[in-house]
Amino acid sequence: MAEKRDYYEVLGVDKNADDETLKRAYRQLAKKYHPDVNPGDKEAEAKFKEAGEAYAVLSDPDKRRQYDQFGHAAFDPGSGGAYGGFDFNGMDFGDLFGDLFGGIFGGGRGSSGRNNGPQRGANLHATVRITFMEAVTGVEKEIEVILKDECTTCKGTGAKPGTKPEKCTKCGGKGQVMYAQRTMFGTMQSVQTCPDCHGSGKIIKEKCPACAGTGYTSSKKKIVVSIPAGIDNGQSIRIREKGEPGVNGGPRGDLLVEVVVSSHPIFQRQDQNIYSTVPMSYAVAALGGEVLIDTVDGRIAYTVKPGTPTDTRIRLKGKGLPSTRYKDVRGDHYVTLVIQTPDKLSHEAKELLKQFDALTGDSLNAAKRAENVASEEGSKKKFWK
């Protein structure tokens, strides 16, 4: 028989965990491994029972004290422990899960069925693509979505004109049916959507010919999306009440439009800052001078200091993207200056460059000089032997 795991390890809590921490840890595990969530999964069922046993002990001050002193032996009838074993069938966990599972544990707590009053409709999702510069300045885009509207023929009832929906006999109009299930905790009740009325609580015997009994008709509609300046790739814009229609007179859901920002050939973005690389000639790097830098606000001239090394990064304050939260705040633009080496030189340019090198350290002949020095030192050593 496999050795039992430590109860604190099972719940993933510290040995000094308080009651609320124990309850929160058990809620998470029970929700994850409950048999209704994992039908037919024996491993999940075993973990569910293991978590229940651990919580049953640690949530009881007396049992927890005995467990902390004797371990699992405290409840082993053959080890002389204080309790000599106990079962968990009499324990009621309805209060622990009533609000978490919405009535999945009926127990003795009197859980109720779902409210068939007005319910908000589901959200719709759409995508819109914009350019990098449109993300900088903000833009309005028109998108096309398929929206449902109340059927004008049946006024949203789904029933043929002159008829009415009838109360579902399977669920009694509640939209849910309850099933009893025996577990290690005793008899538990799980609530599921009624398979006959699909949760509506009503049965339509004669369907409206215009909407096929759905109560809604679908059509393509164009919606203008206002995209704020500074929006980042993957962010979404919420358009209120442009989603699915509500149920039983409830409000519509929302339309969530995800914004996809195209990449830019020069600029890279990180948060509200922009990064780019600008080439500079060796002459400008050595003597100083101006380089032209493209920014989101247009091209500017920047004065490079004499002796600027390659990969020098400069900061253009306030030349980044605007904040979507604070209208007057902008990020910065960071520019890396890289010395550009010419790959095509005229004969005259090459001769002048050789002259320049000779006057500034003669780097072209540095290797030969080093070889000559090494050769001379070797000769001296040989002579003195």
Tokens of 107: 């127990």
Is pLDDT of 182 > 70? no
pTM: 0.58
> What's the CA gap between 366 and 108, in Å, rounded?
93
Q: Where are the beta strands (DSSP E) in the chain?
A: 124-130, 139-150, 166-167, 176-183, 186-193, 202-203, 216-227, 236-239, 255-261, 268-270, 273-280, 289-295, 298-304, 312-316, 333-339
> What's the CA gap between 195 and 175, in Å, rounded?
9
- DSSP class per residue in 341-352: PPS---HHHHHH
Q: Work out the mean pLDDT of the chain and round it to a whole number.
A: 83
> What's the CA gap between 39 and 22, in Å, rounded?
26
Q: Tell which wins on pLDDT, 164 or 369.
A: 164
Q: What is the mean pLDDT of residues 260-268?
A: 96
Confidence of residue 113 (pLDDT cuts 50, 70, 90): very low
Q: What is the mean pLDDT of residues 317-339?
A: 93
> What's the CA gap between 124 and 146, in Å, rounded?
9
Confidence of residue 183 (pLDDT cuts 50, 70, 90): low
- The pLDDT of residue 117: 62
Q: For 76-107, how does the pLDDT look when each residue is reduced to its tens digit (9 = 90+)?
A: 655 444 444 444 444 444 445 444 444 444 44
Q: Tell which wins on pLDDT, 385 or 112.
A: 385
Q: What is the mean pLDDT of residues 219-224?
A: 94
Is pLDDT of 61 > 80? yes
- The pLDDT of residue 317: 96
Beta-sheet pairing, 273-280 with 333-339: parallel
Q: Tell which wins on pLDDT, 256 or 365.
A: 256
Q: For 270-298, how does the pLDDT look when each residue is reduced to its tens digit (9 = 90+)?
A: 999 999 999 999 999 999 999 999 999 99
> What's the CA gap between 84 and 68, in Å, rounded?
15
